[in-house]
Amino acid sequence: MTFLLRRALFYLVTLWAAITVNFLLPRLLPGDPVQAMITKLGGRLNSDAMASLYVLFGLDENKSIWEQYLEYWGSLFRGDLGLSFTFFPTPVADVLAQSMPWTLGLVGVTTIIAFLLGTLLGVYAGWKRGSWMDNLIPVTTFLSSIPYFWLGLIAISLFSVTWPLLPAAGGYAPGLVPEFSGEFIGSVLEHAILPGVTIIVSSVAGWILGMRNMMVTVTAEDYVLVARAKGLTQKRIMFAYAARNAVLPSISGFALSLGFIVGGALLVEMVFSYPGLGYVLFQGIGGKDYPLMQGVFLVITLAVLVANLLADIGYLLLDPRTRKEG
Amino acid sequence: MSPVLEIRDLSVDYGSLRAVHNVSLTLNKGEVLGLAGESGSGKSTLAYAATRLLQPPGHTPTGQVLFKGKDLLSLSDKELQVLRWSEVSIVFQGAMNALNPVLSVATQLDDVLRTHRPQMKKPERVARARELLGLVGIPTDRLSAYPHQLSGGMRQRVMIAMALALEPEIVIMDEPTTALDVVVQRQILGQMMRLRETLGFSVVFITHDISLLVEFSDRIAIMYGGRVVEEAPASEIYRAAKHPYSKGLLGSFPALRGPRRELKGIPGSPPDLRSMPSGCPFHPRCPSAMDVCGERMPSLENVEEQRRVACWLEDVRV
């Protein structure tokens, strides 16, 4: 119990630090978003309107940075992340709520699939080392060494242009209304195939390689020899004795990669114009949209913290040696 | 005395290197057969080859290992799996790593019972696991413990309990107490021998510590360079070893009982498998080497009832 309390305190302090940095970062960036907006609107605003824009965006120059900081915390607790400049006047919270499911659905699910698939292939490759499975590794490593945007563009040019089998961009067919219908869900799945498969192809090699190497190390351990001498079935030895020990390093890697789902989505969603958080962040940076960037960074921070917490819990469950006595 | 395990002409190759040369040994029912020798003498390789636990690539045992009329080396994988642990179990070298660190003692004991006794119900298996821990003197509440929560001695006891779970005919003990201190070593071996008397299994006891063998085994086979160089009842070896290597081994350990002796080592180092000396492999280190020793290999001959020695000193022709 004290262990969990200590962890909880640690996460709270980290969260506070992350949010504070998050508050400061956009204010340290050069440029002025209101100025950019005024330019965009082409001088159709009078000075009163400009002043009210500054107040609206929380960039009131008459307030000290401390007052701004306190207000920032106050509005955070109310769930108010300000208004987005890029999607003016939609609140940032709404923009995030709309784009988050897309990112989680695409990058989250494919990250999990890549981990499970890669780990399973790695288990077999390590268990049956020296067999044909070993030829798999150079192939997957080659695929993962291709820069992601290049892989994505090749996939688009092959499967949407040369052979127009799959859509190249978007989260669903234009003209459809998001709703719970067979047609809409089918369209979402169809649009997810290309980005999803490219993510898996480019990330699966890491899991295979890591797992295979750990399996090779672990199968040399005495307890695997004991398991064979005990006459256990191959399946039991492979999973409960070898893989169960070999998977531990992969678990922490997996938790970290869960934390990077949101951040890592940027490239994928740019290439495929996918309506997720990464694409929103990309647009936000282009428009010097401080509130939106802060919102996305906040989500990334939270995701990393939650992933770390999951890794802690996963380790507790899988490795008895990390459990505290009593 | 009826034999339970007969090793006939067993050789093991690691690629082009021969680690075990034409070894023939017999284990009788209820007997403790000691296998002694320095590191690299082939004693563990012999035991693992006989139970087909050596992993490919490149370890190919030839010869025969007869157990109840069946040759272990020619059984199918399925037949072998059934026979493993239920007839031949092994207490492994280095108790520290022989238990799976992520599974509890209960699960690891249960694995054996579940695989080999599928008709046993869960409560029966738990009861059996408790009984086994009781047998080796571990409190039954340690059943849910993980290996890292146990001391080295307790882990080795758990290993022994596991080895006895299916009441096997043969228990192979490969350096079972090497990682433990002397007091715990003797407690564990003493306990093992008492269990042997009540349960009636036979033991192959592999160690480099010949003083332990003299005390705990009935018969001792001494290996050097992958060959058995002397085989005799333990008391005979202790009283009057015939092979110069056996004498050297005995002289390198302090005797636990009997008169004090001066400790002597054996000069030189164990032979390299890649460049075995010609003739008797021990002759470069042997204090009584003769001309013939460097030329021809002495064969393992019966010199007395139940005594075999491979040494030219014992050969009447020389």
ipTM rounded to 2 decimals: 0.86
AA identity, residue A105: G
Q: Flag whether residue B115 sits within 8 Å of chain A, measured between CB atoms.
A: yes
Gyration radius from chain A CA atoms: 24
Residue ranges of A 127-146 with Cβ closer than 8 A to chain B: 130
Q: Could you give the CA distance from residue B276 to residue B270 in angstroms, rounded to a whole number? A: 10
Where on the phi/psi map is residue B37: left (φ > 0), alpha (ψ -120 to 50), or beta?
A: left
| In chain B, % of residues over pLDDT 90 | 36
pTM of the predicted structure, to 2 decimals:
0.82
- Split at pLDDT 50, 70, 90, the class of B7 is very high
Does the beta-carbon distance from A240 to B103 stay under 8 Å? yes
Residue B171: half-sphere exposure toward Cβ, Cα within 13 Å:
28
Contacts of B40 (CB under 8 A, 6+ apart): B270, B273
Looking at residue A326, what is its pLDDT? 40
Beta partners for B233? B219
Tell me whether A221 touches chain B (CB under 8 Å): yes
Determine contact, residues A179/A237, Cβ cutoff 8 Å: no
Chain-chain contact of A231 with B116 (C-beta, under 8 angstroms)? yes
Q: Where are the alpha helices (DSSP H) in A167-181?
A: none
Judge whether B81 is closer than 8 Å to chain A, CB to CB.
yes
- Nearest CB among A223, A231, A241 relative to B115 is that of A231
Stretch B179-187: mean pLDDT, rounded? 83
Q: How far off is chain A from B98, nearest CA to CA, in Å?
A: 4
CA distance B5 to B212: 23
Does A60 score more than 70 pLDDT? Answer: no
The answer on pLDDT for B202 being more than 90 is: yes
Measured in whole angstroms, the distance separating CA A323 from the mean position of its chain's CA atoms is 28
Q: Where does residue A175 rank: exposed (0-12), middle (13-18), buried (19+ CB within 10 A)?
A: exposed
Question: Rounded to an integer, what distance in angstroms lies between the CA atom of residue B71 and that of residue B181?
Answer: 38
Torsion angle in degrees (nearest 10) through CA of A241, A246, A250, A252: 80
Which token pair is B128? Answer: 């059996």
Lowest mean pLDDT among A98-107, A170-179, B290-299: A170-179
Instruction: Pick A232's closest partner by Cβ from B94, B102, B111.
Output: B111
Distance in angstroms (rounded) separating the CA atoms of residues A19 and A26: 12
Separation between Cα atoms, residue A142 and residue A229, nearest integer Å: 39
Give the residue from A326, A275, A301 showing the smallest Cα distance to A104. A275
Closest chain A residue to the Cα of B49, Cα to Cα: A229
Angle subtended by helix axes A261-271 and A277-286, to nearest 10: 80
Q: How far is B185 from chain A (nearest CA, A)?
A: 20
Contact B111 A230 (CB under 8 A): yes
Average confidence (pLDDT) over A121-127: 92
Between residues B131 and B60, which one has the greater pLDDT?
B131
**Non-local CB neighbours of B84 within 8 Å, separated by 6+ positions:** A228, A229, A230, A231, B51
User: What's the pLDDT score for residue A175?
Assistant: 76
Pick from B85, B103, B115: which is nearest to A233 by CB?
B115
- Chain A residue closest in CA terms to B144: A320
CB atoms within 10 A of CB A44: 7
Per CB-CB distance under 8 Å, the chain A contacts of B85 are 229-231
**Of B163, B148, B145, whose CA–CA distance to B204 is shortest?**
B163
Chain A residues lying within 8 Å of B84, measured CB to CB: 228-231
Beta-carbon contacts below 8 Å between A and B: 79
A177 touching B, CB under 8 A?
no
- B275-285 burial code (b ≥16 CB/10 A, e <16): eeeebbbbbbb
3 state SS for B62-107: EEEEEECCEEHHHCCHHHHHHHECCCEEEECCCHHHHCCCCCCHHH
Q: Cβ contact (<8 Å) for B97 and A222?
A: yes
Identify the pLDDT of residue B53.
Answer: 87
- The 10 Å Cβ neighbour count of residue A87 is 18
Average pLDDT over residues A119-148: 87
Nearest CA in chain A to B159: A226
Closest CA to A7 of A280, A308, A322: A308
The verdict on A250 touching B (C-beta cutoff 8 Å) is: no
Chain B (162-221) residues lying within 8 Å, Cβ to Cβ, of chain A? 162
pLDDT tens digit sequence for B27-86: 999 999 999 988 888 888 898 888 888 876 667 788 999 998 889 988 898 999 989 999
